[in-house]
């Protein structure tokens, strides 16, 4: 039998939908906790895609795709008004 894992130590992908509220309540939303989560995420991304022996364009292309999506979201209000505008 596998050992029971505490809900606090469970990864987000392993949390059931009914447990999501209590799992979120156990997270650390202080500035230090958020900074630590961002740092852990960056370290995981860097070690998985950038700091590899035989690297490719996968990690850098994901960053570029994220930048494209983020810049579109930032400029969406301007793009929304230009959709139906007629240029002559």
Q: Provide the pLDDT for residue 39.
A: 95
pLDDT tens string, the chain, 88 residues long: the values are 455 667 777 888 888 889 888 888 888 889 999 999 899 989 998 888 878 777 678 778 888 999 999 998 888 777 776 666 666 5
Q: What is the pTM of this model?
A: 0.55
User: Residue 78 corresponds to which tokens in the numbers above?
Assistant: 């301007």
Domain boundaries, given as residue ranges, for the chain: 1-54, 56-87
> What pLDDT is recorded for position 86?
65
State the pLDDT at residue 1.
43
């Amino acid at each position: 039998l596998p050992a029971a894992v505490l809900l606090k130590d469970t990864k987000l992908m392993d949390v059931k939908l009914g447990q999501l509220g209590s799992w979120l309540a156990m997270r650390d939303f202080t500035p230090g906790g958020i900074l630590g989560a961002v740092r852990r995420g960056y370290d995981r991304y860097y070690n998985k895609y950038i700091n590899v022996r035989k690297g490719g364009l996968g990690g850098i292309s994901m960053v570029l795709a994220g930048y494209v999506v983020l810049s579109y979201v930032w400029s969406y209000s301007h793009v929304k008004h230009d959709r139906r505008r007629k240029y002559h």
